[in-house]
Amino acid sequence: MAGSLNWAVFVSFDDGVKWVLRSPRRSFLSDEYASRILLSEVATLRYIKAHSQVPVPEVFAYSASRDNDIGIPYILMSRAAGQPLSQYNWPQPPCQPPSEGPLGDALRPLSEEDMKKLATQLAHIVLQLSRLRFDKIGSLFQDDKGNYIVGECLSQSLTWQYRDSLEDINRGPFDSERAYLESLVSAFIRHAKELPVGPLS
């Protein structure tokens, strides 16, 4: 399966254990920035796992370059527990036709009790994440000693749709929300002037 930024292969073992091999898609990002984002994702997953009870996948192995046995950057991790919300039918206005899954299958009904349970779980996750504080705005990395540091900001607003190719854009880390928002505005203006403008820009 594939998303906007990554493709993934699910690996099932005889004992029922499932792993995921995920790799960046070569679409809207340079190899350099795809590599940095992968490193930040690994650091973020490990930090959240170590400092909260949010059920994130466990990272077993990773490579941020093509210099490995399979020739691609990748993350090998456990598969997250639970069911995708895309498989469930959310309440809709009466005039809207019934929803279908990606293969045309009817979606499972979502009861009011299910929605209450989901809202409670999401609130618990958001509360825990809100307690993970840093003194700068940016993306999380690990240094050579395994310490967590806030580095340049790799948000989609600054990197997606070839914005990673724009030079002289302040990418942080930022000391204030104002500096971060000014960087976003600068990236959007530069994109409009120098890069192709499409429906996803």
Task: Assess contact for 167 and 156: CB atoms under 8 A.
Answer: no
Q: What is the pLDDT of residues 16-30, one digit of tens each?
A: 899 999 999 877 678
For residues 53-78, average pLDDT:
96
Structure tokens that stand for 187 in this block: 């990236």
State percent of the chain over pLDDT 90: 66
Output b/e per residue, 75-104; b: 16+ Cβ within 10 A: bbbeeeeeeeeeebeeeeeeeeeeeeeeee
Q: What are the CA-CA distances from residue 86 to residues 16, 60, 79, 107 (Å)?
A: 23, 27, 17, 8
Q: What is the DSSP letter of 19?
A: E
Q: What is the pLDDT of residues 171-197, one digit of tens each?
A: 999 999 999 999 999 999 999 999 887
Query: In the chain, what are the domain boundaries?
Result: 1-79, 134-201
Report the CATH number of the 1-79 domain. 3.30.200.20
Q: Is pLDDT of 162 > 90? A: no
DSSP 49-79: HHHS---PPPEEEEESSS-STTSS-EEEEEP
